A and B are shown apart, each in its own frame.
Chain A
Amino acid sequence: MNNLDLLTAITVFVLSVLVGIEVISKVPATLHTPLMSGSNAVHGIVVIGAMLIAAESHTWLGYALAFVAMVFGAMNVVGGYVVTDRMLEMFRAKPTAEKSVTQSQEKAEV
């Protein structure tokens, strides 16, 4: 698999940091929690590494390590995206219709 020379890898490394800083410094404080949980999901890409390790494993220890790495990685990626979506769904410009009904009912009770 050694198809990547060190210089290319380091170039990618440095440029990724710069792109990251550029893109993320524009995110408003309102969205910092979803940003963090969303970027958390992005590092779930580690699951790909776990898959490659699982594919190369040939000892029991290797299989055990790969299994735990797969569980961790898959949990990270699936959980991260689902919970971010759950949070972002709540951010609305106007209160939802359904909730407004509950609100007015509550008001009526008062």
Chain B
Amino acid sequence: MDTVSNAVQYIFLAAAACFVMGLHLMNHPRTARRGNTLSAGAMALAIAATVWLVTDENVISSTGWLVLISGGVLGAALGLWAAREVQMTSMPQLVSLFNAVGGGAAALIAVGDLLQADHPAALGTRVSLPGALDIVIGAVTLSGSLVAAGKLQGVVSGAPVVFPGARLLNVLLPASFVAGTVWLVLAPDSQVALYGLVAVALLFGVTMVLPIGGADMPVVIALLNAFTGSAVAMAGFVLDETALIIAGMLVSASGGILTKLMADAMNRSIANVVIGGFGTGDSAPATAGAGGAPAQVRPVSADDVAIQLAYARKVIFVPGYGLAAAQAQHELGALAQLLTDHGIDVSYAVHPVAGRMPGHMNVLLAEANVPYTQLKEMDDVNPEFPQADVALVIGANDVTNPIARRPGNAISGMPILDVDKAKSIVVIKRSMGHGYAGIDNELYTDPKTGMFFTDAKKGLSELKAAVGEFVG
């Protein structure tokens, strides 16, 4: 190893250390941004070091330089544009898209490496096995993430798409991965095995994600994130670059942990989500209008709720996906600000799966200028509900249903927010429609609960105006 490649390896090591420290700084909202900057700086350094290495080795052709620079500039421009333009509600789609391209790039690296080896037939298992795994995982991630992004964007149906033989296909395809991988390892020069593996993996990505319902997306995105990380680590084995192995596995660990957390918070096993077919949250607003409300619920008006809020000492907001769907986070932020200015203790109870990806609701509220000190996690906020004068539920359903504490129903055992323990409860909802679990919410028929039947955005604006009258 010559001096330059030696030096570059040390730079990669330093970069890897910075990635770990950067992730560590994500422990607190105060230091998180610094962590991201540190990580980005380390990445820039690693890329610069690679340019140095490539220049120094001097095996690159002028076409190679052209490809490297033009591809890099085009990709950077696309990435920058997407990152600047994206709406915070569309964040899950963008993260899916970046998962897709990351996995795709990793798969292409393995394909390129295997196709262009000087003596492909002589490649040992040392390269061909991680190469084959890289192709499988990378290609599954590429097509799977694109389908997931399509579902989130509404381009592909959010409902579980089940076609005849889908389950069978999901058994046959992985079996063909194993066959294809073994074939490619035994005969790394076989182009049939290589292209066959790519095709099967791309197909599997589609058939794996299509049957998964829209409401399971937080789990799916986290899982695909873990896949991308593994694909990148495999590319690291193919290219003998520890930097790729370290960074890839850090991401994989992160994706894995989040997948587990999300699945736990939804009371489902990961296998259960991937096999799919439970239902979808997207159908909930189909029956709009207050007319169908059963007699035992207590409808309330904006003025009723405003009086309660204006004379409360402690108010807890419980935002759910309905809030994000109605784009009402700014109205909620404004109402909360008004109450805070009036000296009322305001906080937000955020369930781990609120939104369309892990932690999504927090980002939406942060965008609406809600200070992070008011964003409370489930375990921290649950003991506070008994002291709350009013709990205002906006667009959250199953995660507030007390029935989850009893055995024998669809959400038994699911961790929920103890909204029913508040002194008074108000639910802003368009109708008595069900959540994605498809069961009645006992919270709505609780005598302490008032139902404010309206659209979240309109309802919150009315509340803010009405509260304004009282606290003037």
Point out residues on A near B: beta carbons under 8 Å: 1-4, 6, 8-9, 12-13, 16-21, 23-59, 61-63, 65-96, 99-100, 103-104, 106-107, 110
- Decide yes or no whether B101 CB sits under 8 A from chain A: yes
User: Contacts A33-B357, A54-B71 known; A92 to B334 CB distance under 8 Å?
Assistant: no
Can you offer 19 A-B residue contacts whose CB atoms are under 8 A?
A1-B239, A20-B249, A23-B23, A32-B359, A36-B359, A41-B40, A42-B22, A46-B232, A49-B232, A53-B239, A57-B61, A57-B116, A62-B115, A69-B108, A69-B109, A74-B73, A81-B43, A91-B33, A103-B337
Nearest residue, chain B, Cβ from A20: B253
Give the residues in chain B near A1, CB-CB below 8 Å. Answer: 239-240
- The distance in angstroms between the C-alpha atoms of A76 and B175, with both chains bound, is 31
Q: Is the CB of B36 within 8 A of A12?
A: no
Within 8 A of A (CB), among B413-466: 464-465
Apart from A24-B253, A40-B225, 4 more pairs, CB < 8 Å:
A39-B254, A57-B61, A75-B98, A81-B36
Give the residues in chain B near A80, CB-CB below 8 Å. Answer: 79, 83, 98
Give the residues in chain A near B20, CB-CB below 8 Å. Answer: 19, 23
Range class of the B interface residue count? 35 or more
Q: Is the CB of A65 within 8 A of B108?
A: yes
Q: Is the CB of A77 within 8 A of B79?
A: yes
Give the residues in chain A near B10, CB-CB below 8 Å. Answer: none
- The distance in angstroms between the C-alpha atoms of A43 and B51, with both chains bound, is 18
Q: Is the CB of A91 within 8 A of B32?
A: yes
Within 8 A of A (CB), among B250-293: 250-258, 261
User: Contacts A30-B350, A52-B241 known; A71 to B82 CB distance under 8 Å?
Assistant: no
- The distance in angstroms between the C-alpha atoms of A26 and B86, with both chains bound, is 28
Give the residues in chain A near B178, CB-CB below 8 Å. Answer: none
Nearest residue, chain A, Cβ from B338: A107
- The distance in angstroms between the C-alpha atoms of A55 and B369, with both chains bound, is 47
